[in-house]
């Protein structure tokens, strides 16, 4: 059986994949040492002009590697002993390239094993016991200063409670996060006054890489997801889609430094109006608003109108309840039903989606009426009489949402968030087409949110089972939803 031969030149070229391999080398050794439980790490780095070689050494006092870990993990491309280890930063299995394989030669002494190699070729021999791991690497040329600079940069922006020694001197790793500012999908954002114009991305307190920002603060992003999921394999950048969110934050900082680091809370605007419900005409049941509905204190509801279906259905009617109080300072809403506008982005919502604006569009009016009709029909189909509200939601990758904590609200997204190809900026684009396909999609999404309203909040097996049952009945009565779109 044949095999693939990897020449030393391949490993050497891989250094080009790093923004600064001289900083990546100490970072990966620090990360390996910390992940294996070391509390003392020592580096010795020096240039030898006689041989034009840089000698770089790292010793830790963590548990040594056994032979299986050496051969199947550390010296195996793609292998890693930390794939599922809680609290570890690693897991990519490519760090050994920058640590040793890309350089002239290396020696690793761990436990009673000594590995001597160059590129992908190595030998393992017995050695006196070493209660830790010592990695010695010979590098071409004079890169000592760059390695030391990279190491001290990593230490400066990291937080570790162990003891780091560099060429005989203790180097602190005491960079605190600072004040909490806001959350991102992949981590939490902090800032302090220890530096300026620097953003540092860290994992378990260890600096991975940095970005320039236009701000007189040090901004630290502490990852709260696995670095394998968030970072590129060389840990010099973010994977899709997280790099876009990071770039957005950096853009925000350059435009509006004050608001960029403010904690993001969804902006909710309530436009009081008629609550919606389905009423069984046979029993004359009138829905009431319970005390646990958590409706806003200024809104008191009472039954005022019963609207029959346009087709004159004999078994069901559409019931609304209206609030007695309105926001006096707020212009009259173009939407009669109880309406919420939820903005989960930092974008400004165009007036065509705001019901009190004279520019509130025909598309928006048509969409909310269709959505209301579909949700009423969904309640009709399953005999649910609890009053509810509707609204528009603006968020990443969101077509609809349900919120039972703020008045039993069913949201629909009138617009999709799109990014411009060249500027990577965001804008809003009309999200619905009222074609047959679009109408079927609306019914399916409404069924999804209706399932949430039945108490199935998490997307688990119980939700999947309930949603399957609901969709089965919806599909059996799909023609009955056609009337919902006659607006």
User: In terms of domains, do 151 and 200 share one?
Assistant: no
The pLDDT value recorded for residue 71 is 81
Give the pLDDT score at 289.
Answer: 36
170 within a domain of the structure (yes/no): no
Question: Is residue 165 scored above 70 in pLDDT?
Answer: yes
User: Given a cut of 80, is residue 182 above it in pLDDT?
Assistant: yes
Residues 381-394 have a mean pLDDT of 94
- Asked which of 95, 127, 158 is the last residue of a domain, the reply is 158
Check whether residue 316 and residue 255 sit in a common domain.
Answer: no
- Regarding whether 469 and 341 lie in a shared domain, the answer is yes
Question: Within a domain: residue 2?
Answer: no
What is the number of domains present in the chain?
Answer: 3
Q: 328 in a domain, yes or no?
A: yes
Among the three residues 158, 189, 211, which one is the final residue of a domain in this structure? Answer: 158
Report the pLDDT averaged over residues 437-462: 93
Residue 385 belongs to what domain range? 267-485
- 13 compared with 92, residue with greater pLDDT: 13
Q: How confident is the model at residue 181 (pLDDT cuts 50, 70, 90)?
A: confident
Which CATH number belongs to the domain containing residue 102 in this structure?
Answer: 3.30.565.10
What share of the chain in percent tops pLDDT 70? 81
Residue 171 within any structural domain of the chain: no
Backbone angles phi, psi at 49, to 5 degrees: -65, -25
Mean pLDDT of the chain: 83
pLDDT of 302: 26
Residues 66 and 16 occupy one common structural domain: yes
For the cut 90, the answer to whether the pLDDT of residue 393 exceeds it is yes
Residues 62 and 186 in one domain: no
Write down the pLDDT at residue 93.
Answer: 54
**221-225, 232-236, 328-332, 415-419: segment of lowest average pLDDT:** 328-332
Which one of 260, 277, 297 terminates a domain? Answer: 260
Q: According to the model, what pLDDT value does residue 6 have? A: 66
Same domain, 245 and 366: no
Q: Which residue has the higher pLDDT, 336 or 81?
A: 336
- Where is average pLDDT lowest: 2-6, 34-38, 138-142? 2-6
Question: Is-above-0.85 flag for pTM?
Answer: no
Tell me the average pLDDT across 402-427. 80
- Separation in Å, CA 238 to CA 7, 199, 202, 225, 308: 29, 13, 12, 12, 55
User: Tens digits of per-residue pLDDT, 417-433?
Assistant: 887 665 446 788 999 99
pLDDT of residue 261: 84
Given a cut of 50, whether residue 382 has pLDDT beyond it is yes
Confidence of residue 30 (pLDDT cuts 50, 70, 90): very high
One domain for residues 418 and 297: yes
In a domain? residue 376? yes
Shared domain for 300 and 377, answered yes or no, is: yes
| pLDDT digit string, tens, across residues 305-325 | 222 222 222 222 333 333 333
How high is the pLDDT of residue 20? 92
More confident residue, 186 or 348: 186
* Residue 435, pLDDT above cutoff 70: yes
Given this model, what pLDDT does residue 75 score? 73
Q: Does 183 share its domain with 152?
A: no
Domain assignment present for 410: yes
Is 164 a member of any domain? no
Residue with the bigger pLDDT between 440 and 308: it is: 440
Residue 305 is predicted with a pLDDT of 27
Residues 151 and 279 in one domain: no
| Pairing outcome for strands 169-170 and 267-271 | unpaired
Whether residue 466 has pLDDT greater than 90: yes
What is the model's pLDDT at position 82? Answer: 47
Q: What is the pLDDT of residues 228-254, one digit of tens each?
A: 889 998 889 999 889 889 998 999 898
User: Is 333 found in the same domain as 310?
Assistant: yes
Band of pLDDT at residue 210, cut at 50, 70 and 90: very high
**Averaged over 22-33, what is the pLDDT?**
95
The answer to whether residue 4 scores a pLDDT higher than 70 is: no
Tens of pLDDT, residues 247-289 = 989 998 988 777 788 766 678 999 999 899 887 655 444 443 3
What does the pLDDT look like over 31-43, one tens digit per residue? 999 999 999 999 9
Q: What local confidence, expressed as pLDDT, does residue 329 receive?
A: 42
Lowest mean pLDDT among 183-197, 270-284, 355-369: 270-284
| 169 part of a folded domain | no
Residue 330, pLDDT > 90, answer: no
Q: Are residues 287 and 332 in the same domain?
A: yes
């Amino acid at each position: 059986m044949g095999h693939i031969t990897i020449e030393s030149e391949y490993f050497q070229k891989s250094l080009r994949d790093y923004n600064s391999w001289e900083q990546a080398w100490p970072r990966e050794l620090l990360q390996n040492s910390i992940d294996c439980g070391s509390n003392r790490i020592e580096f010795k780095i020096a240039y030898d002009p006689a041989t034009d070689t840089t000698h770089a050494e790292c010793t830790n006092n963590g548990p040594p590697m056994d032979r299986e870990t050496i051969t199947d993990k550390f010296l195996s491309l793609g292998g890693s002993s930390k794939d599922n280890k809680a609290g570890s930063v690693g897991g990519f299995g490519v760090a050994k390239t920058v640590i040793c394989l890309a350089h002239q030669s290396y020696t690793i002494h761990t436990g009673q094993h000594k590995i001597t190699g160059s590129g992908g070729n190595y030998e393992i021999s017995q050695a006196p016991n070493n209660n830790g791991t010592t990695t010695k690497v010979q590098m071409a040329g004079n890169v000592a200063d760059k390695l030391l600079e990279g190491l001290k940069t990593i230490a400066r922006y990291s937080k570790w409670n162990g003891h780091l020694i560099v060429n005989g001197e203790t180097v602190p790793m005491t960079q605190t996060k600072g004040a909490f500012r806001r959350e991102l999908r992949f981590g939490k954002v902090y800032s302090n006054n220890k530096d300026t114009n620097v953003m540092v991305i860290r994992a378990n307190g260890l600096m991975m890489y940095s970005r320039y920002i236009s701000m007189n603060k040090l901004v630290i992003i502490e990852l709260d997801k696995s670095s394998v999921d968030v970072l590129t394999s060389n840990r010099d950048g973010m994977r899709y889609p997280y790099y876009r969110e990071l770039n957005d934050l950096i853009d925000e900082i350059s435009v509006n430094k004050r608001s960029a680091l403010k904690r993001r809370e969804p902006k909710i605007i309530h436009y009081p109006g008629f609550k919606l419900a389905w009423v069984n005409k046979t029993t004359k049941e009138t829905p009431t608003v319970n005390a646990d509905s958590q409706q806003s204190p200024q809104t008191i509801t009472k039954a005022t109108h019963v609207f029959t279906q346009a087709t004159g259905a004999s078994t069901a009617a559409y019931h609304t309840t209206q609030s007695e109080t309105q926001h006096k300072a707020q212009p009259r809403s173009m939407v009669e039903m109880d309406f919420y506008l939820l903005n989960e982005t930092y974008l400004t919502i165009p007036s065509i989606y705001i019901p009190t604006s004279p520019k509130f569009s025909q598309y928006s009016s048509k969409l909310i009426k269709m959505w209301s009709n579909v949700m009423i029909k969904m309640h009709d189909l399953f005999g649910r009489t609890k009053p509810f509200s509707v609204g528009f939601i603006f968020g990443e990758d969101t077509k609809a949402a349900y919120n039972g904590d703020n008045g039993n609200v069913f949201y629909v997204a009138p617009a999709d968030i799109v990014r411009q190809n060249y500027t990577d900026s965001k804008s809003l684009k009309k999200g619905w087409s009222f074609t047959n396909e679009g109408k079927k999609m609306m019914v399916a999404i409404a069924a999804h949110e209706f399932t949430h309203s039945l108490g199935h909040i998490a997307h688990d097996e119980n939700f999947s089972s309930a949603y399957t049952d609901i969709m089965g009945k919806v599909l059996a009565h799909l023609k009955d939803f056609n009337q919902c779109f006659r607006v």
